[in-house]
Chains A and B, each alone.
Chain A
C-alpha cells in the first residue's frame, strides 16, 4: 500500500478506534459496550492492514469478533444493569484513574515523539506470510508451543473453576522527502506510537475506573491492543524483516484470549461464591 493509502486509512481508522474505545467506558448498556470494544479492536485490525501487516490484521479481525462477542455474553450475565436502563453509576475513583491515565498518555506520547527512532528504508510490500510461518514453525516454535499449552491449560482450568462444584465436585520510506509528510498528514512511527499511547491510556482509565470485573477485563484488552499496535508500527517503519515481531503479536493475541478465559472463569467462580462481580465487593483478601 502506498504512503498516501496508508495515511487515508490510518487517520480515520485511528479516530474511530479511539472514540469507540473511549465510549466503551461511557455507555451504560452492556451490549453497546461490548460491541463498541469489538469496533475498536476490529478497526485496529484495519490499521494493521494499512501498516502493511495484512496477515496480522485479518487475524485480528477474526479473533476479536469471537472474543468480544463472548465478552458481550458475559457482560449481559454478570452486570447488575445490563440494559443500561436504570442509569447506575458503574465507576469508582473517577478522578484519580483519569489523572493516572492522562499522565501515562502524555508521558508515552512525549517519548514516542521525542525519541529519535531508527528509520530504515522499507518497501511497501506486506511482510511475507510464509516468513511468519517459518518463524512460528522454526526459531519460535518452543515459545509458540508454550503459548498454546498455556491457552489449553487456561481453558481446562477455566472450565474446572467455572464448574458448579468447583474443581473437587461435579522509518518511513521517503518520509521527510515527500510533500505530504511536511504537511503532517503522513503516518510515521511516532504517530502510530502516539495512537497506541492514547489507546493504552483509555484502557488504563477503564481498568482503574470501572467497578465491574468484566469491564476491567475489557480495559486490559484495550491495553493489550495498544501494545500490538506499537509492535505493528515498529514492524512497518523500522524493522520490516523482523518476523519475530509479527510472532510477538500472535503471542499477544493468544495472551488476550488466555486473559479473557481465566478472567471469565474467575468471575463465574466469584459470582457463585459471593453473588457479585463488582470489584469493590470482592474484598475477602483484605481480611
Chain B
C-alpha cells in the first residue's frame, strides 16, 4: 500500500465508472453525452430517500454501501501499472475473490430489506445464482495463479510477459468471463433485477442517493472485473511502444465493451437453466481447467 492508494483507487473508480457509463451509451448506439449523464446523476441525487415499511429496513440502506465497498476493494487489488497497483498483497487474487463474495450478501440485503415480494424473490434468486457462479471464479483464479507460482496479481502479470494467459488457457478465460459478468449482475445475468420479469427486482425500491450508489457500484464492479481480466488473461500492462498504463487501460476498456456488447446481444435465460449451466457445465469444466493448468505448470512454467 503506497501513500496515494487512498486517493488513486477512488479516482480510478470514479473516472472508470463515468467512462463505463459512456461506453454503455456508445454500445447502445447513442452518442455519449457527458452533460446528460451529469444531469441524470444530479436529478437522481436530488430525489428523497425511501424508507421501506419493514422491520429490517436498515439492511436496505446498508446494502448500497456494502456493495460499493466490495467493488472498490476488488478494484484496489487490480495491478494497473508497475508503479501503481493499489494494495499489493501476497494473496491479492484471494482478496479480489473475497471482495466480490460480498456482492452476494449486499444484493440479498437490498432485496430482503425493501420487503416487497418481487424484491425478496430477486434477492433469493441472487443467492442461488452467486453461489453457483462464485465457484468458477475462485477455481479459475487458481488455474491462472498456478503457472505464476504466486497469488500476487503483479507476479501473475509478470509471468505473461511473453504469452498472454488467455492464449495459453482459453478454457479458463471462457469460464471466467460469464462468471464475472454474473458477479456484476449485468445482462444476460441480471436475474436479481430482471426488468421484464421482476420489475426491477432487488433494487426496484431504491431512490436518490441509495439508487446512485447502487448504480455507481455496478459500474465500479465492471471496471474491477474488466481490469482483473486484462491483468490475469491479457498480460496486463505488457505491450509494445505504448506506455504500460495505457496498454492496461486499453485492454480493460476492450473487455468492458465486450461484456456490455454481449449483454445487449444475448438473451436472459430462466433462473433454473442459468443454474443448471453453472453446476453441470461451468463447475466441472473449471476443475478440468485446474488440471490443465497443473499440466502446463509442470511442462512449461518451471
Contacts and interface: CB of A to CB of B under 8 A. Distances in A.
Q: How would you classify the secondary structure of chain B's contact residues: helix, strand, loop or mixed?
A: helix
B149 to A, nearest CB: 8
Contacts of A72: 105, 108, 127
Given A84-B55, A129-B151, A62 B94 contact: yes
Nearest to B73: A61
Interface string B86-123: 00011100110111011011001100100000000000
Interface stretch (A28-36, A214-222, A252-260): A28-36
Contacts of B112: 31
Instruction: Give the one of A58, A70, A129 with max B CB within 10 A.
Output: A58
A58 B56 contact: no
Given A32-B56, A83-B55, A84-B55, A68 B105 contact: yes
Contact of A129 (B91, B102, B105): B91
Interface residues of B, number: 28
A62 B131 contact: no
A58 B101 contact: no
Nearest to A53: B91
A69 B94 contact: no
B59 interface: yes
A37 to B, nearest CB: 11
B138 interface: yes
Given A29-B56, A85-B55, A130-B150, A58 B89 contact: yes
Nearest to B135: A66
A85 B55 CA distance: 7
Interface string A40-76: 0010010000000011001101100110111011000
A286 B124 CA distance: 37
A70 B131 contact: yes
A42 B56 CA distance: 21
A29 B151 CA distance: 39
A45 B95 CA distance: 11
B94 A58 contact: yes
A29 B98 CA distance: 26
A223 interface: no
B105 A69 contact: yes
Contacts of A65: 98, 101-102, 104-105
B282 interface: no
Contacts of B151: 55, 129
B106 to A, nearest CB: 10
B139 interface: no
B56 A66 contact: no
Interface in B124-139: 124, 127, 130-131, 134, 138
Most buried by A among B90, B124, B134: B90
- Interface size band for A: 20 to 34
B140 to A, nearest CB: 14
Contacts of B138: 62
Contact of B104 (A42, A66, A126): A66
A83 B54 CA distance: 9
A84 B112 CA distance: 13
B134 A66 contact: yes
B108 A69 contact: yes
Contact of B90 (A35, A54, A61): A54
Contacts of A38: 105
A69 B131 contact: yes
A128 interface: yes
A20 to B, nearest CB: 13
Interface in B202-255: none
A272 to B, nearest CB: 21
Contact of A66 (B91, B94, B95, B101): B101
30 contacts: A29-B55, A31-B59, A31-B112, A35-B59, A38-B105, A45-B98, A54-B89, A58-B97, A58-B98, A59-B94, A59-B98, A61-B98, A61-B99, A62-B97, A62-B98, A65-B101, A65-B104, A66-B104, A66-B131, A69-B105, A69-B130, A72-B105, A72-B127, A83-B54, A83-B56, A84-B55, A85-B55, A126-B90, A129-B150, A130-B149
Interface of A: 29, 31-32, 35, 38, 42, 45, 54-55, 58-59, 61-62, 65-66, 68-70, 72-73, 83-85, 126, 128-130
Given A29-B56, A130-B150, 9 more contacts: A58-B97, A61-B95, A61-B102, A65-B98, A68-B105, A69-B108, A72-B105, A73-B124, A130-B149
